[in-house]
Structure 1
């Protein structure tokens, strides 16, 4: 029984802290900052992913041009 009372007390303390954090305007600013940060990270990830594919395709095309045999004679 003692263990469940401790867990309940911890739960109530966490819930009370969370409620006061949400009511406080600093909490709102933090949440807004986290949303903006999440949007920026998502956009950055998508841009890097797309740019990386394009750069990879250009390197493959360049390597194909470099490694293709030519008709010229190298002396």
Structure 2
């Protein structure tokens, strides 16, 4: 069970990071090719993964801490 929980949490961190990166791309260039498709897809992916992990209602700072635990070099300002 622990391995499954860990994998589910890791998947949620990956999906949330993907959403953060895709959002940053959209903010930097709202006309980037495919962003109108990629951003909603990343949001849906993160929603599903966070729901499966029981993390959907967690505060953003906790989710970012989870991303940083999984990706120690993650820097949201870059």
Structure exhibiting the larger radius of gyration computed from Cα positions: 1
- TM superposition score normalised by structure 1: 0.38
